[in-house]
Structure 1
């Protein structure tokens, strides 16, 4: 049974306060059980000025699963999250329906805990997300607000959330998934654009910058890894906004890939296009799902193909000067969102359900090591 959100927030708040080379060449070294060695980690392998990150499991689909909140209650998960990564991003804990469940009511306990955890472990934090068509609360979507009321609600939300973590968030995904695949704006299902028009996008960035001038402000989207109509739309929009003085700092590709499809071979060239505009770039939600029937394991060939995709994506980012952040969307299959949303697909992360490192883990680690030596 699903616990009401506000009651669950109180329970979790109490709990949280109590816790203070080719892909085929990447093979386990067998020296240490997963997470045991402090030296043998992704963050230790990475170049000093490069952030290797993970989403922090919680909220969203996790609330309907048969396990307690992973970040709060899974000690091994938290240990690995702190040891392996130099950056963390809330998976769902800063999305509208979670952090702003009722009018005028904010649920900050989980996001506060993530920020404290990051500070304790000397990690950066990516904020996700302020302006989106999905995972909005019913009170917002069905509120029948006037344009002025809706605009005031959005401004209050952005400035309240960003302002609370001012100086503690390195990058914010301000506007998330605002274009359709054909490069047209989402006007049907994005309440902000539909009701207030496209100029509200610029306002969202301005409000976020006012609340925290030190945070880097990003557009973030899926399906923009390659050069296509969708990424072209961002390439056209961002310079227009910047010409108006809108504080846009970066462009991020999510990187939700599948071995059903070919690797986006123009990823590096695409990131470079945005780097050429003077923008920072990032890969923000990387995972590589595979076709795996329930009750079966991926084949060695599938695991190597997955590792190859992870390696090539990371190499593309590392090859672009302004791409200084690579975040995987959860590091263990135990808590991955993929099987919940993609029937017949899964095993998308770099560790299995028992936190055992997969070939993809070693591909990422060795690629980071190679970059650090250069």
Structure 2
């Protein structure tokens, strides 16, 4: 997950005008007399979402309260992934996913389903069976069809958007050499969308990946794929740019133009997993740069009518995935470990208030 350096003077200059107000409230709890983020997002005709850590939701009152108050969309961080929902073949565990759907329903939130087909976080019985040859290509296709159909049907009418196929291209635009491509060929992508659509015709079905926020070889590969599949009648309805950025690599170029070209195909667009990490320790300048990056993605979304949702991948550093994956990096979310808001929170708030 790397970006080349691209000048961001204009973006930073515009956003730094906000930081005086943001800094003054950096350690105040959100909410109170202020309207929640979700209220501002409603006015802007946008879903503002967060990935949800279900253990934190159960055990941390502040996390639970903030999740319900500030966001009108939620995504399962892990509990809808295949290794969780079918840990043993034919044995399902829907408890975490069901709990999230109930939580969202009770709070008037929509749910993004994440993710149906991915090369990672697959159940061990599946990967070992493919590896030792006990699951051949024909059986694997049937297993994939059953998985997609079973999960989507279970939540039919309860999921607004599904990340159907996740992270299928490499940085140079070549197809990822996953077990799906190796055993089933390229047709697995179209098949997955058709199966998901048959299981829930009303859910919007997305391609999803990282490092595709701007125009580059990888996002162009997705554009070409989406254009071809849609011409063939495959129900590819959305393009999700994850938005895992890092301030040391510069802001991606041509974000608005990238969203616009997918919109011209008749597709919805979304930012699906936004966070902005930095090399630790935090200093006085890094939070302002981070705020500019969050605002840059949000403004691109708000400026594109097809962009219907903006989801952060967790909202507090207390539960962020970043330090466990990127050594020496972190502080990637809108709030610190004590739930104090950062300049990035203020930047998102200001952007939502400005609207479309």
CA–CA distance in structure 2, aligned partners of residues 337 and 33 of structure 1:
24
Q: Secondary structure at the match of 1:46?
A: helix
Q: 1:235 aligns with which of 206, 223, 227?
A: 223
Q: Secondary structure at the match of 2:285?
A: helix
Q: TM-score, normalised by structure 1?
A: 0.87
Q: Which residue of 2 aligns with 1:164?
A: 154
Q: How far does residue 45 in structure 1 lie from its aligned partner after superposition?
A: 1.8
Higher RCO (C-alpha 8 Å, min separation 6): 2
SS at match of 2:269: strand
- Computed over aligned residues only, the root mean square deviation of the Cα atoms, in angstroms, reads 1.5
Matched, 1:209 2:197: yes
Which of the residues 150, 154, 171 maps onto 1:181?
171
Contact 1:54–1:81 at 8 Å: present in 2 too? Answer: yes
| 2:7 paired residue number | none
CA distance in 2, matches of 1:32, 1:340: 25
Q: Who is 1:153 aligned against?
A: 143
Equivalence for 2:51: 55
Cα contact 2:173–2:218 (8 A) shared by 1: yes
Cα deviations by residue, 1:162-207 (Å, 9 ceiling, x for unpaired): 10100000000000000111111112xx211111110011110000
1:124 aligns with: 110
Where do 5+ consecutive residues of structure 1 fail to align? 1-20, 59-68
Change (3 A) 1:131 1:352: same
CA distance in 2 between counterparts of 1:196 and 1:92 reads: 25
The answer as to whether partners of 2:287 and 2:344 remain within 8 angstroms in 1 is yes
CA shift digits 1:212-249 (9 cap, x unpaired) = 00100000000111211111111111121112211110
After superposition, residues 1-374 of structure 1 pair within 5 angstroms as: 22-26=15-19, 27-28=21-22, 30=25, 33-37=28-32, 39-48=34-43, 49-58=45-54, 69-143=55-129, 144=133, 145-187=135-177, 190-293=178-281, 298-371=282-355
CA separation in 2, counterparts of 1:231 and 1:309? 19
- How far apart are the structure 2 equivalents of 1:321 and 1:361? 23
Q: Is the 8 A contact 2:26 2:341 kept in 1?
A: no
Gaps of 5+ in 2: 1-13
Length, aligned pairs only: 336
